[in-house]
Structure 1
Amino acid sequence: MNFTSDNIAGASPEILQAIVAGNGGVAAPYGMDPWTAEAEARLSDVFERDVAAVLVATGTGSNALALAALAPPGTAVFCHLEAHVIEDECGAPEFFTGGGKLVGIPGEGGKITPDGFEAALARFPRGIVRQVQPAALSLSQVTEAGTLYTPDEIRALCDMAHAAGVAVHMDGARFANAVAALDVAPADITWRAGVDVLSFGATKNGAIACEAITFFDPARAGDMLFRRKRGGHTVSKGRFLGTQMAAFLTDGHWLDLARHANRAARRLADGLAAVPGVRMPWPVQANEIFPILPAAVDDALKAAGGRYYPWTTRSLAAQDAPGAGERMVRLICAFDTADEAVDEFVAVAARAGAVQA
């Protein structure tokens, strides 16, 4: 009953097999191998246009390098105030951008609204020497609240950004879960909606360690290979990134993995929603759940071996905040989460809830 993260899962058998298959013989180093070329071609197929993709091993590296390509030193990067790039990456985006300023924007459910973005832009007018100048907007899809931006919401924010001379980055650590949940073409929530660069994540969804910095205008990739090398993110035996990403994208494997995680989360959410006293402040849209539990239910789950994180957030509406005797937690399902684990967790919660009721 471990729902701490989708990072706790191993790799999918198909990806492991691809790594083993690519292990024999010799291959050019530093991403010049045929598997990396195949991965880039498959990314172009997935997004229905020619893209430039640079593979790295970590999500933080992917986000930080992507933002560095969009935001010159000393400029502003806008993001949600609880986005991973501002809260959980130890200053890496600021470091890689050469002193870029991350500007957090509040918004319920982890989402930036056009009004919120407009207010943030107004705080950083162009030409005022005392302020950093706007350069990039970073959107998280899936958000840190487990919610999703629709294509129209992304398009509205991208239109505002581009009108203000601001490029758009998307942190897609759980991008596959978003595509599977929204049932849209990947292009519809990226370049067709105005996104310039996507940090396309595979690690949380069945890879060992692989992310693709994906430029929808290849000209924007510019010096990214040099940035990657200078930043210490160029893997010598790059074939093992290429094999992962190529297998991830073969025959829709990436979406099959994400659908499993999403289904497990829906099963878990539906079960918990029936427990007396449990509240869901946000809709469960992908593979993350943020229930507010009665303290007795939380205690019973922990005593039974349930593992998950307590959670605090500034993205809740005031009326939805945990009250006395309530605790907010985060639960995440992975590509290999078993129904039995979900059902056991729900059963423990239900027994504790029934006693409390």
Structure 2
Amino acid sequence: MEQTAQTPPCSETLSADDTGSQRIRTNFMSDNVGPVCPEILAAITQANVGDAPAHGDDAWTAQLEARAAEVFEAEVRVFPVATGTAANGLALSALSPPWGAILCDESAHIFGRECSAPELFTSGAKLCPIPSPDGRMSPAMLARTIAEVQAGGRRLSRPAALSLSQATEWGTVYSLDQLVELTTLAHDAGMGVHMDGARFGNALAHLGCSPADATWRAGVDILSLGATKSGALAADLVVMFDTGLAEDMERRIKRAGHLWSKQRFLSAQLLAWFEGDLWLRNARHANEMAGRLARGLLRHPGAMLPFETQANEVFAILPEALVQALEVSGFIFLRRTAPPGVHGTLVRFVTSYHMQHADVDALLEALASGE
């Protein structure tokens, strides 16, 4: 079970003493805690002039679909929503009937962190978790799970969708070959493929390929594209590469309570995010900060990194005394349950687009002084 480090939640300024002096410490809890990009704030302000048609009939939303088609080099249908949970649930509702089975990694956000939202949005589809050592399911385990569910016949849910997290919840990234192998297995079994891309930009920055190569060319039918973790105020995007799945999507969104009357403010954020590849620049910077932190941790004699750092999440196993010292110093991060047989405390540090070298170095210096 996750536990927040024992410091005030989402606070970057902590009182040090009674004299009014303060210690500033960086918040590594999540990439959700940071400020909105200035470019995106400016876009919201520019959209906040005069009247505009409601419920997605505005010029910003029309431009967004055209821009997304350019980014992904394909005809797409796009649907902006305010949260990643809504994007995932709505996307999966287009792929699975209530009696369907949605296969995902056991670490997937849809399985362990979304309060049964996928089941709600699909009106009852069953999530089937697949174990993996690092957040990336193997083709062998996927094939085995598909066969087991199919063998149950009408007594079990029908395999309807495969959901892949990219980047994964352990900060790892599927290679293009791995994606193709998994999506091919799913399609051969008559399943659709969803990608939870809450940190898709970070995965793309690691892979160094085009957005098209990492999605529809690799067999992805629907992408939940997350902007909120990468500079947006509140904006995620359901991108449908299989445009036939878009039928009635607007009704699904309305029924779920996620149709904004002033949708131009969602679309304006996403347009600014795509402009000049801001989304990729933000992702590259966040990844760079994570790499800097990981390299520093590897130099520490008391630290062990159980997973390769490929996006903007760094997991480390540290002695409990060091973890407590960081907490006392005012750093904010997430505790996780350590794997069986591992001695020490597993913690997660998340870097973001606005984090600086000095922020990372301050944490590493605090670790070094705690030796």
Cα drift, residue 296 of structure 1? 2.2
Q: 2:63 and 2:336 mapped to 1: Cα distance?
A: 40
Letter aligned with residue 200 of structure 2: F
Task: Please say if residues 64 and 97 of structure 1, whose CA atoms lie closer than 8 Å, have aligned partners that are also in contact.
Answer: yes
Matched, 1:281 2:299: no
After superposition, the CA RMSD in angstroms is: 1.1
1:56-107 Cα offsets, whole Å, 9 max, x none, are 0010000000000000111100001120001011111001111000000000
Match of 2:345 in 1: 327
Task: Please say if residues 35 and 243 of structure 1, whose CA atoms lie closer than 8 Å, have aligned partners that are also in contact.
Answer: yes
Q: 1:92 and 1:295 mapped to 2: Cα distance?
A: 34
Q: 2:209 and 2:133 mapped to 1: Cα distance?
A: 24
Q: What is the correspondence of 1:184-195 to structure 2 with a 5 Å cutoff?
A: 184-195=209-220
Cα drift, residue 322 of structure 1? 2.3
Match of 2:168 in 1: 143
Cα drift, residue 266 of structure 1? 0.8
Match of 1:98 in 2: 123
Q: Give SS of 1:276's match.
A: coil
Cα drift, residue 119 of structure 1? 1.4
Letter aligned with residue 213 of structure 2: D
Letter aligned with residue 236 of structure 1: S
Match of 2:315 in 1: 290
Match of 1:117 in 2: 142
Match of 1:235 in 2: 260
Residue-pair matches, total: 346
1:102-161 Cα offsets, whole Å, 9 max, x none, are 000000111111011011112111671211110000000010000000110000000000
Q: 1:55 and 1:341 mapped to 2: Cα distance?
A: 33
Task: Pick one of 270, 273, 286 that aligns with 1:245.
Answer: 270
Task: Pick one of 203, 206, 214 that aligns with 2:228.
Answer: 203
Match of 1:225 in 2: 250
Q: Give SS of 2:127's match.
A: strand
Q: 1 or 2, which has the higher helix percentage?
A: 1
Match of 1:33 in 2: 58
Q: Give SS of 2:244's match.
A: helix
Structure 2, unaligned runs of 5 or more: 1-25
Match of 1:54 in 2: 79
Q: 2:27 and 2:297 mapped to 1: Cα distance?
A: 15
Task: Pick one of 348, 359, 367 that aligns with 1:341.
Answer: 359
1:36-62 Cα offsets, whole Å, 9 max, x none, are 111111111110111000110010000
1:213-256 Cα offsets, whole Å, 9 max, x none, are 10012121111000000000001100001100100000111001
Task: Please say if residues 268 and 346 of structure 1, whose CA atoms lie closer than 8 Å, have aligned partners that are also in contact.
Answer: yes
Match of 1:152 in 2: 177
- Report the TM-score, using the length of structure 1 for normalisation: 0.95
Task: Please say if residues 126 and 133 of structure 1, whose CA atoms lie closer than 8 Å, have aligned partners that are also in contact.
Answer: no
State which drifts further: 127-136 or 198-207.
Answer: 127-136
1:309-355 Cα offsets, whole Å, 9 max, x none, are 11126xx5x6xx521xx1000110011012211111000101223xx
1:272-316 Cα offsets, whole Å, 9 max, x none, are 111111001110001000100112221211111111011126xx5
Match of 2:20 in 1: none
State which drifts further: 294-303 or 4-13.
Answer: 294-303
1:175-224 Cα offsets, whole Å, 9 max, x none, are 01111111110111110010000001101000011111100121211110
Q: Give SS of 2:102's match.
A: strand
Task: Please say if residues 15 and 206 of structure 1, whose CA atoms lie closer than 8 Å, have aligned partners that are also in contact.
Answer: yes
State which drifts further: 32-41 or 19-28.
Answer: 32-41
Q: What is the correspondence of 1:307-326 to structure 2 with a 5 Å cutoff?
A: 307-312=332-337, 321-323=341-343, 326=344
Task: Pick one of 271, 284, 297 that aligns with 2:296.
Answer: 271
Q: Give SS of 2:150's match.
A: coil
Q: Give SS of 1:2's match.
A: coil
Match of 1:4 in 2: 29
**Percentage identity across paired residues of the two chains:** 47
Q: 1:303 and 1:11 mapped to 2: Cα distance?
A: 28
Q: 2:265 and 2:337 mapped to 1: Cα distance?
A: 37
Task: Please say if residues 169 and 198 of structure 1, whose CA atoms lie closer than 8 Å, have aligned partners that are also in contact.
Answer: yes
